[in-house]
Amino acid sequence: MLLNRVSLDDHVVTEIGKDKPQKLYLTGHVARRRCEEDETCLWDTELPGFGLRRYITGRKSWFLRYVERGVARNWTIGDVKRVSAEDARERARKRLKEVALRGLPTRPKRSKIAAKVATFSELVEQYFEDRPFAWKPSTEKTNVHSIHNVLVPAFATMQVAAIRKHDVLRWRDEMSDRPGAFNRDVALLSGVMQYAERLGLRKLGSNPARGVPRYAREPLQRFLNTAELKRLHCRLAECADIYMVAAIRLLIHTGARSSEVANLTWGEISDSRLELRDSKTGPKSILLSRQAKAILETLPRGADDELVFTGTKGQTANLSYFWSKFRKKAGLPDVRLHDLRHSYASLAIQNGISLDAIGRLLGHALTETTERYAHLSDGCIANAAERLGGSIVKLMGWQNDGC
């Protein structure tokens, strides 16, 4: 069923004649549930215009309703059986970003913009005023910090139109001691320069950050061995901070990202899983083992909107700060919080769990991400082959007897 008449209010489209739209945070679980007869559309509570449509035939599809230059537009993203909720949400965000960019002032208003934007610092101010991006809150916090504290000091007083590739290469050399930061921040610089082109402050196709080589880096993978895991367990048992201890143990038993645990609320915990409304890859579910559930049961439950793990003043727990101190006491000075996630994957492989299942447990959006553990799987397969060979020898009674 398609919408014939629409009413636009704060970017949310509702059917004329309905009292109010059905609103939910749209997930794969919502898409799979049985719909009521009068539910033709469900609207997302977090992303304006993002919705789920049910047809008379029973087919369901993700869609996005938005307004561009005064015209209401309807874009079908894809069938729920072919496109996951996370992918649909990301595609919707990307389309809204593209629409926002198309609506920015362009060359006819160049003189007006150029009158107040000349240097890179002024460009950044205009960039945050127009907000031509669709970052998640956690991503925006990181990116804003990088732009103000890394990019602006490097290019602050330079004329926007005068920044060339050799200037970016010079900055690359200055960042040689922080290759990871450069690889991340050069993408931000490219976005700001693309925005400058859109405003007419640079020639189209002149982005100086495009094509600048990133630093080659070996993937950082550190796996805890049995002795280290036992030592970590003992040190956690000696720690008096029950919230931090529970958070670290939950990381070990779920393979979750530290940000996912730090921002976990009580309302996101069900009997058998964590239903995260936001993560690096969008909404996702994390299955809870019996041991993981027992960890959460040791804590006094709060209201649904309260954080599970908090600091002394009720703020989001700073797991990174706690871990930076604690790991030294545990004799693990080189182990990062993220290495607990790697160790979870390593233990899963040692227990015969497939790479596909591990990817699902970790919430990887791409199979390529999980394939970094393939070399560990090869070792387990080799061991399995040896064990199987030994069993066959025993069954056949073949012990180098010359037969």
Kindly compute the dihedral angle of the four CA atoms of residues 317, 323, 324, 330, in this order, to the nearest 10 degrees. Answer: 160
353 and 233 inside one domain: yes
Q: Classify strands 60-68 and 71-79 as parallel, antiparallel or unpaired.
A: antiparallel
CATH number, domain containing residue 141: 1.10.150
Instruction: State the residue range of the domain holding 191.
Output: 107-199
Which residue bears the tokens 């390593």? 346
Whether 389 maps to a domain, the answer reads no
Q: What is the DSSP letter of 5?
A: S
Q: What is the pLDDT along the chain (403 residues), one digit of tens a residue?
A: 333 333 333 333 333 334 445 677 888 888 877 655 555 788 888 888 899 988 777 788 899 988 876 677 888 898 888 888 899 999 999 888 887 776 654 444 554 566 667 899 999 998 988 888 878 777 888 899 999 999 999 999 999 999 999 999 999 999 999 998 999 999 999 999 999 998 888 998 999 999 999 988 766 677 888 889 899 999 999 998 899 999 999 998 888 888 889 889 999 998 888 888 877 767 778 888 889 899 999 999 888 888 999 876 667 788 999 999 999 999 999 898 988 888 888 777 777 776 677 677 776 555 555 555 555 545 555 555 555 556 555 655 555 554 4
Whether 245 maps to a domain, the answer reads yes
Whether 313 maps to a domain, the answer reads yes
Whether 390 maps to a domain, the answer reads no
Whether 220 maps to a domain, the answer reads no
330 and 233 inside one domain: yes
The phi and psi torsions of 338 (rounded to 5 degrees) equal -65, -20
Give CA separation, 242 vs 201, 245, 270, in Å: 55, 5, 21
Q: Classify strands 60-68 and 50-54 as parallel, antiparallel or unpaired.
A: antiparallel
Q: Which of 208, 209, 90 is nearest to 139 (CA)?
A: 90
CATH number, domain containing residue 338: 1.10.443.10
CATH number, domain containing residue 61: 3.30.160.390
Q: What is the DSSP letter of 330?
A: T
Contacts 24+ apart (CB under 8 A), 244-248: 244/309, 244/317, 244/319, 244/322, 244/326, 246/295, 246/296, 246/298, 246/299, 246/309, 247/309, 247/317, 247/319, 248/319, 248/323, 248/326, 248/340
The phi and psi torsions of 353 (rounded to 5 degrees) equal -80, 135
287 and 336 inside one domain: yes
In whole angstroms, what is the distance from residue 305 CA to residue 77 CA? 31
76 and 168 inside one domain: no
Whether 288 maps to a domain, the answer reads yes
30 and 61 inside one domain: yes
76 and 122 inside one domain: no
- Domain endpoint, select from 102, 132, 163: 102
- Per-residue tokens: 3: 């919408």
The phi and psi torsions of 64 (rounded to 5 degrees) equal -135, 125
Contacts for 165 with CB less than 8 Å, ≥ 6 apart = 208, 211, 212
- Domain endpoint, select from 69, 102, 135: 102
Whether 378 maps to a domain, the answer reads no
The phi and psi torsions of 8 (rounded to 5 degrees) equal -100, 125
235 and 180 inside one domain: no
Q: What is the DSSP letter of 347?
A: H
354 and 275 inside one domain: yes
Q: Which of 304, 373, 380, 383 is nearest to 345 (CA)?
A: 373
pLDDT at site 73: 80
- Per-residue tokens: 13: 């489209």
139 and 48 inside one domain: no
Whole-angstrom Cα Rg for the chain:
26
- Per-residue tokens: 80: 């729920």
Measured at the CA of 88, the angle between CA 20 and CA 52, to 5 degrees, comes to: 25
Whether 129 maps to a domain, the answer reads yes
Q: Which of 5, 84, 93, 85 is nearest to 49 (CA)?
A: 93
Give CA separation, 267 vs 37, 43, 242, 305, 306, in Å: 28, 20, 20, 6, 8
- Per-residue tokens: 271: 């009997």
Q: Check if the beta carbon of residue 359 is closer than 8 Å to that of residue 373.
A: no
354 and 254 inside one domain: yes
Tally the domains of the chain: 3
Q: Check if the beta carbon of residue 349 is closer than 8 Å to that of residue 376.
A: yes
240 and 353 inside one domain: yes
Kindly compute the dihedral angle of the four CA atoms of residues 140, 142, 148, 153, in this order, to the nearest 10 degrees. Answer: -140
260 and 354 inside one domain: yes
